[in-house]
Amino acid sequence: MLEHILIVHESRLVREALAKILLSCGVSKTAIACIENADDAIEYAQFAAISLLICADNLTTENSLNFRDELAKASNKTQLPLMILSHRIDDNKLEQAATDHNKKCPVSNSICLSPPFKKQHVVSALFELTQDKLFANYINEDSTNDKLSKLPVNEASELLEQKPTILVVDDESSNIDVAAGNLRNLYRVMAAKSGEHALKIVANNKHNIRLILLDIMMPTMDGYQVCEMLKADHETANIPVIFLSAKALVEDIKYGFDLGAVDYITKPLNGDLLRARVATHIRLQQQKIALTTQVATLKENAKLREDIEKITHHDLKAPLNNILFETYRLTDKSAAKSINRAVHNVVNMVNNSLNVYKIEQGIYTLKPQSTNLIVLINDAMNAVSTLSNEKNIQFALSGFETEHAIMAEPLLCLSIFNNLIKNAVEASPDNQTIAMVITRNKSYISFQLTNRGVIPKHMRQRLFEKYSSSNHNTGTGLGTYSAKLMTQVQHGQISFNIIDEQQTQFIVKLPAA
């Protein structure tokens, strides 16, 4: 009876195709184990009595027969039937291979198959090796749809992601058999019979252990000690550990959780409960890995965005600096001074676009200073003087006869007032007056701007949201959004009122110096 058939091959496609052939012949799914390399096969043989070995001829530097003998010794078998899958093919002998495919090896109880591995050849070899009646009725079956024979020879196959690997740690082989038997169909299962061996497997780091089922009562090093060492190492600290133990006292379970275990299952094991608990923690681990990858990608994208903005700002500054240089040649010194100030403001606002990003991310460092509010507002009005003159818009100023100092960053505030005054001029009908009032109230300086024209009703609730704009033809929808961010980061407030559905009033409050 074939209780444990072990398929060892580097290609997952080959392993799966062989498994499908075995299943089509009536072999139980639980009797088939597929493993990628020789080391894992040796470990598997320590807790499973292998009854048939199917392996590639290039797994180890030694020949396949020696590898077979090593597996037989590990699983306490005197004789182990062996099917060797050769990776070589002679194109000139394909016709002969079709008629004389199964070649009996000199050593008894072994057969070597050469590619292509057609189903009838595989089944015939299986019957010759085992004389099992399961294979007798399939020897002559047509194999036109045999996928295994279509695999490219001597070519690396594109492998899908392997099943999650679970490490079972227990000093009793029977307990390992129970756990592995319940999980083998869904996961790749490895085993260790001591805490020391388990730590070596995990430290090897080539098996990508996704979860550990850990017995507590073991000689030399118990499960608690193993868990403690795993959690103390940053390389292994994130591997979920589930304790398996007959110890069911509350203090034992609590101690296990205190050490960092994610779950605790009492013996004797219930298969359904074991599979459910393992599936839950594997799923959580996969989600955690996916989230970690996503966070790393977001950080990388954020860094890329900052780098691109820095490069863009550098490119924009070059032509602006040329303008600054040319202003010194102007004979009208008043005009030159005005142009010089305007260009400096543009350069500073370009820099502010990166500041908006830093404020969004919560990484902006505020450096407030005593700042003349009236100078900033006058600069903002001068910036829109061309447009305001074209529309014949006047500014009615109140409270400007006295200097008002705010504790803020001048460039951030200039951007705020530029946005608000520019928006007011654009929204106001021609030949109207825009009122600006400055007042002081306790620890705040208040700036009020009122213009004819109202914000559309559908825009009011989300006016300060990103990409909100009442005029997408002239704006990006970032003006009021950035104004809000820059005001709040300076511990100020910004709001608006609609007056009689005819006027819009913006109010900005900033800390007084």
Structural domains of the chain sorted by starting position, each given as residue range(s) with its CATH number in brackets:
1-155 (3.40.50.2300), 161-269 (3.40.50.2300), 366-511 (3.30.565.10)
Give the whole-angstrom CA distance, residue 35 versus residue 7: 6
Residue 113's pLDDT is what?
A: 85
- Exposure of 159 in the CB half-sphere (CA atoms within 13 A): 13
Q: How far apart are CA 489 and CA 486, in angstroms?
A: 5
Q: Could you give the angle at the alpha carbon of 224 between the alpha carbons of 218 and 227, nearest 5°?
A: 110
Q: How far apart are the first and last CA of the chain?
A: 91
pLDDT at 132: 83
* pLDDT the model gives residue 151: 44
Q: Helix axis angle, 119-130 relative to 12-24, nearest 10°?
A: 70
Distance of CA 307 to CAs 65, 284, 361, Å? 59, 35, 15
Burial class (CB in 10 A: 0-12, 13-18, 19+), 453: middle
Give the tokens for residue 172: 């009793």
The Cα–Cα gap between 311 and 332 comes to 34
Burial of 165 (0-12, 13-18, 19+ CB in 10 A): middle
Cα dihedral 306→310→313→315 (10° resolution): -130
pLDDT of residue 471: 47
Whether residue 453 contacts residue 431, with contact meaning beta carbons closer than 8 Å, is answered with no
Per-residue pLDDT, 501: 93
pLDDT score, position 391: 94
Q: Which residues contact 453 (CB under 8 A, 6 or more apart)?
A: 427, 428, 429, 503, 504
b/e string for 9-30 if b means 16 or more Cβ within 10 A? bbbbbbbbbbbebbeebebeee
Q: Which residues of the chain have pLDDT under 50?
A: 89-102, 104-107, 141-161, 470-477
